[in-house]
Amino acid sequence: PVGTSLTDDGALVLGGADVREIAQVHGTPCFVLDELTFRRRARMFVGAFEQAFGAIGSGVDVYYAGKSFLSVAVARWAREEGLRVDTCTGGELAVALRADVPGAEIGLHGNNKSDDEIARAIEARVGRIVLDSPAEIERVARLAAIAGRDETDPVPVMVRVTTGIHAGGHEFISTAHEDQKFGVPLAGGAALATLEAVLAHPALELLGAHSHIGSQIQDAAAFEAAARAMLGLRADLARSSGVLVPELDLGGGYGIAYTPEDVPIDVDGVARALAATVRDACAELGTSVPRISIEPGRSIVGPAGVTLYSVGVVKAVTVGGASDDETAVRTYVSVDGGMSDNIRPALYGARYLGRLANRPGDDASLRARVVGKHCESGDIVLPDVELPTDVTPGDLIAVPATGAYGRSMASNYNHVLRPPVIGVKDGELRVLVRRETEDDLLALDLG
Ligand code: LLP
């Protein structure tokens, strides 16, 4: 996905830039983000969904899910490609606003929004606040009133609904089954009652219902099942209240390829299948087709990012072989980052590919485990990878598909400094987010 090639002497080139130059100028570890890949993938979502839903007479809004990775530059790229920005905290909202994304093109999520976050979203006139529980209705209505909003100028809201449809990778990232913290269950009428309760508040404008069924989803049928369930809910609300809400949000969660075993979602195919489902379900239910929004994050920024690490200590460890009388060696290749820049292997058992990036290496291959520099044995970047046998300190290792949930979930564990994000485009480098410094960390420590 990232525009990659090799130099004549076998070094990796990302977005036109030689990784050796990126590492020399900006140091390692660093995240490299290919602007054109990000833009192309953002456009792909807008194009596929606009075409598919335009064909059934419906409009579409694509929100870029900022939790996957948000910076001022990235928010601008998203906007320039016709996307809106989905935020889930005051911090993400602040970045979107700093990027001059108009409030009307921002959404705010969160299962435990603070009064301050809600008030700032209202003040910024965000396009919608997604209510996550019945308890939020009164709070948002009260804060809307304080801000002087009433039925002549209501605050647009949606209600997040859990459909009971399980999808996605690890349990921690599948979000629509019943026993978890997000949203209001469709089962038992809770979602319908919550939607009705919103209608009773004149200072709130009910745009519709919202469903996000999980992340890293590789089975497109789950989206269709969720869409059907949500359209049924919309029709139920129309019957019970006389109000046919204009919109439906079908969330994010489109899976990407980290390794050859993964099946990335075919965005065009899903868009067409979803549009057909929406058209057919609305025809059966006797309702008009709603405006649809989606919230992809990982599938836009994930493939646009590559992490570069430098190799430090290389250590061969005898680990035992397939049978008792056989011994096998695993080579531990330590790099200068690890679980502080990519927690996903430790948290979800996530797998990535990786390769020597600064030169071709010899032809023989080594059974290697790439590990980080943290004081924890679970600090593993690549549990099982083939590297050339001559891998040596100072070499560069590139790990692709790390644009999503890498930098955005980075930590300072062991007082490690969070890496920079370097934008690449046509061979030009641009620091999007600078490397943290020890002064940054010490500035927080008041002694
Ligand atoms: N919309 C809502 C309401 C969400 O909760 C999420 C993700 C998204 C959109 C974007 O999902 P995406 O298209 O990026 O899959 N840290 C985990 C992923 C957590 C996702 C949480 N919600 C990981 O590294 O896999």
Average pLDDT, the chain: 95
3-class secondary structure, 74: helix
DSSP letters, 355-400, are EE-SS---SSEEEEEEE-SSSSTT-EEEEEEEEETT--TT-EEEEE
Structural domains in the chain, CATH included, are 4-29+303-444 (2.40.37.10), 35-296 (3.20.20.10)
107 lines ligand 1 (CB under 6 A): no
Q: Are 210 and 161 in contact (CB under 8 A)?
A: yes
Tokens of 342: 């990519």
Question: Would you say the ipTM is above 0.85?
Answer: yes
Q: Are 310 and 28 in contact (CB under 8 A)?
A: yes
Give the chain's radius of gyration (CA, Å): 24
Distances from the Cα of 14 to the Cα of 11, 17, 32, 297, angstroms: 10, 5, 8, 21
For residue 398, what pLDDT is reported?
98
Cα of 358 from ligand 1 centre, angstroms:
33
User: How far apart are alpha carbons 359 and 53 in whole angstroms?
Assistant: 47
Distances from the Cα of 107 to the Cα of 43, 142, 176, 327, 339, angstroms: 19, 19, 19, 56, 30
- Does residue 295 have a known ligand-binding role? yes
168 lines ligand 1 (CB under 6 A): no
297: Cβ contacts below 8 Å, ≥ 6 apart: 64, 65, 66, 67, 68, 69, 86, 252, 404
Q: What percent of the chain has pLDDT over 90?
A: 91
Neighbour-count burial of 203, counting CB atoms closer than 10 A to its CB (0-12 exposed, 13-18 middle, 19+ buried): buried
305 lines ligand 1 (CB under 6 A): no
127 lines ligand 1 (CB under 6 A): no
* Segment 300-309, tens digit of pLDDT: 999 999 999 9
User: How far apart are alpha carbons 62 and 252 in whole angstroms?
Assistant: 10
For residue 324, what pLDDT is reported?
58
Between vectors from CA 321 to CA 311 and to CA 314, what angle results, nearest 5°? Answer: 15
For residue 358, what pLDDT is reported?
98
Cα of 214 from ligand 1 centre, angstroms:
7
Question: Average pLDDT, stretch 334-342?
Answer: 98
Q: How many CB atoms lie within 10 A of CB 400?
A: 24
For residue 336, what pLDDT is reported?
98
* Segment 124-180, tens digit of pLDDT: 999 999 999 999 999 999 999 999 999 999 999 999 999 988 776 655 555 555 678
Question: Which protein residue has the closest C-alpha to ligand 1 atom 3?
Answer: 212
115-123 vs 90-98: helix axis angle to the nearest 10?
20
375 annotated active-site: yes
Element (H, E) at 17: strand 17-18
109 lines ligand 1 (CB under 6 A): yes
User: How far apart are alpha carbons 299 and 409 in whole angstroms?
Assistant: 16
Element (H, E) at 253: none
User: How far apart are alpha carbons 264 and 254 in whole angstroms?
Assistant: 8
> Could you tell me how many residues make up the chain?
447
For residue 182, what pLDDT is reported?
93
User: How far apart are alpha carbons 156 and 208 in whole angstroms?
Assistant: 9
pLDDT tops 80 at residue 323:
no
- Does residue 253 have a known ligand-binding role? yes
DSSP letters, 164-180, are S---SSSGGG---SSSS
For residue 325, what pLDDT is reported?
54
Question: Which protein residue has the closest C-alpha to ligand 1 atom 15?
Answer: 253
Question: Which protein residue has the closest C-alpha to ligand 1 atom 17?
Answer: 173
pLDDT tops 90 at residue 286:
yes
User: How far apart are alpha carbons 222 and 168 in whole angstroms?
Assistant: 9
- Does residue 90 have a known ligand-binding role? no
Question: In ligand 1, which atom is closest to the CA atom of 175?
Answer: 5
- Does residue 296 have a known ligand-binding role? yes
